[in-house]
Structure 1
Amino acid sequence: MSEKITFIGFGEAASAIVSGWGPSRHEVFTYDIKLDDPSTRGEIVDRCSKFGVWPCDTPQEALQDADLVLSTVTADQATEAARAASPFLKAGQVWLDLNSCAPSSKVKSAGLIEAAGGQYVDVAVMAPVYPKLNRVPLLVAGPHADEIAPRLAGLPMSPRVVPGDIGAASSIKMIRSIMVKGLEALTAECTLAAVAAGVQDEVFASLLKSHPGTDWPAQTFYNFERSMVHGARRAAEMEEVARTLQDLGLPSDMVTSTVKWQRKLAAADVPAPENARQINPETIAHALLPHIRSS
């Protein structure tokens, strides 16, 4: 069944989901803050044209008559996006918050949406959107989750309801990210140090003996690529992870260090690798070292 769908924010996640649905399956609109800036407007307009999406100049225009609203902005802008959109929501419109935020941030956004008459759903995206596109695994939580999950499945998407209030899905995502994004930071710190000391072959051989189930060169390549391309967004997410831990009364030392590493790798003026078979981790490390040492 065709739905009128609005994306607030039309970056990688939104475009991947839409591309998975294919052309003309749904009527899709978007408002992205980059449309307000002449220097970035063309980027969003071109992306919309590629995927058959209607760009809107205001949140009000984008939200008009939308059946489902998917918020896919950066983690630090998620609550602000809810605040900006709330005056234009109609009673019963569904706001799906796919952003990587702390549970407390999602509760705050939910308050804005529900006060405007909307139905807020906590959604956690549990894997990279490529290559799964619209079939990327989603966790959904909150009072409307059971009602909305079948609609998402029909789009099609791949939701799974988790028990609990708003923030339950986000808690799973945030706490898992301590390990996933933290391993990326550890990979960078270990590999760069090994290459700088000229002992990378011995280090990787030792790691392979300790953890024989992991292809360390391939995993290292993948972790570097994720941080070099998406480090800024990952850093914003990890700041929400730190907030999650603080809300739980726990220290966030590892998470804070992960934020710094993700930012360093994203800020390095080095093109991200594209093919693990052509570029090994040592090559990436040599390219990054001058930038990391000076940062």
Structure 2
Amino acid sequence: MTARNDNMPVLGFIGLGEAAFHIARGLHGEGLRGIRAYDKFWNVPPQSDLVAQRAGEASVTLAPSLQALVEGCDIVVSAVSANLAVPLARESAAWLRPGQVYADLNSAGPQTKIEAAAIVAPTGAAFMDGAIMGTVPGLGHKVPTLVCGEGAQRFADVLRPFGMQLTVLEGAAGKASASKMLRSIFMKGVVALLLETVLAGHEYGLEDDLLDSIAETFAAGPFLEVANGLIARGVIHAERRAHEMDEVVATLRAAGVDDTMSLATRDKLLKIAAAGYKAHFKGVAPRDFHDIFTLGN
């Protein structure tokens, strides 16, 4: 446990929802003292009961207003919902001052973070774009988090000693959130693909066999090596595989299973084929998937 000293900047959360609660509780457990929070429901029953309970468990002092929180903290963390990121940055800007860090941990896209950063900039406070890359209830304050922007390094310097797993990315606000959004292409997309696969497989009594087969493919080597091969060969064989997906779609329709993801895969493969990768690489898969970025150069 790391002891807090008297010169430690005061940390305050806008919103004491699930993420802020678990992070604050974890930081307190590591020895960080004086954590504050403002939640708009702090005095609005019945939500106020949960806010008070969380504040008590995390040893967080509740502020009576957003102004009181912002004026009383050195690091202000916005941890609400994405649609409130910009409005709260705009409201907080009235009380922000030079020397503060305004850290936006909301699950919002890069354009939202860039807009919020532009609002904060004239106040003299340093904006930080933070992207939480894991599950907060399970990992708490140790959840892997990407941070970037003017205030990222100071945020990391203050909170890493208390166990936060922070990776500082070079660049302005937007980069960390872009990483989170783009990662979701795979992480959310693979869930939809798996569901379509097992639902169709169930019609043929094959759901477990299919997952075993998929597992064998991804266990063929380190993930980065497997991914490299899938991407490199995928751009070469896109047209043939698109035609194979027509048969997949026909199979799903015969089984009465929704084919949304398979149709999208076919259409994406057709676009990849039309882009000209096969001709560019003369029909031979590149050794390194990074080579696909040379198309058109």
| 2:17 is equivalent to residue 3 of structure 1 | no
Q: Structure 2: how far apart are the matches of 1:69 and 1:52?
A: 17
User: 1:1-295, aligned counterparts within 5 Å?
Assistant: 1=5, 2-23=8-29, 25-35=32-42, 37-195=44-202, 198-212=205-219
- SS state at 1:88 partner: coil
Report the Cα offset of residue 15 of structure 1: 1.6
Secondary structure of the 2:72 match is: coil
Distance 1:33 1:194 in 2: 47
Aligned length: 217
List per-residue Cα deviations over 1:12-47 (Å, max 9, x = no partner).
Answer: 221221222235622111112333642322111111
Task: Tell me the percent identity.
Answer: 32
Please state how far the C-alpha of 1:197 moved relative to its aligned partner.
5.9
CA change 1:34–1:189 in 2 (3 A) is: farther
What is the CA-CA distance between 1:201 and the residue it aligns to? Answer: 3.1
Q: Quote the Cα distance in structure 2 between the aligned partners of 1:196 and 1:11.
A: 41
Aligned to 2:57, what secondary structure does the other structure show? helix
Q: Secondary structure at the match of 1:191?
A: helix
Separation (CA, whole Å) in 2 of partners of 1:78 and 1:58 = 17
Distance across 1 between alignment mates of 2:64 and 2:201: 50
Corresponding residue for residue 288 of structure 2: none
Q: Which amino acid aligns with 2:161?
A: G
Query: Structure 2-normalised TM-score?
Result: 0.64
Q: Find the residue that maps to 2:167 and give its secondary structure.
A: strand
Counterpart CA distance in 2 for 1:208 and 1:74 is 35
Whichever residue aligns with residue 166 of structure 1, its letter is A
Assess, with a 3 A threshold, how the Cα gap between structure 1 residues 20 and 188 changes in structure 2: closer, same or farther.
Answer: same
Report the alpha carbon displacement of residue 130 of structure 1 after superposing the two structures with TM. 4.2
1:275 is matched with: none
Answer yes or no: is the 8 Å Cα contact 1:3–1:27 preserved in 2.
Answer: no
Measured in 1, the distance between the counterparts of 2:208 and 2:183 equals 30
In 1: Cα distance, 2:92 partner to 2:99 partner: 14
Report the Cα offset of residue 109 of structure 1: 0.6
- SS of alignment partner, residue 181 of structure 1: helix
Give, in whole Å, the separation in 2 of the partners of 1:196 and 1:124: 39
Query: Deviation string for 1:99-122 (max 9, x for gaps)?
Result: 122111111111222223321111
Match of 1:225 in 2: none
- What is the CA–CA distance in structure 1 between the aligned matches of 2:155 and 2:215, rounded to whole Å? 45
CA 1:190–1:54: 2 relative to 1, 3 Å: farther
Q: Which has the higher contact order (CA 8 A, sep 6+)?
A: 1
SS of aligned partner of 1:122? strand
Instruction: State the one-letter code of the partner of 2:183.
Output: R
CA distance in 2, matches of 1:62, 1:95: 12
Q: 1:55 to 1:192 in 2, by over 3 A?
A: farther
Larger Rg: 2
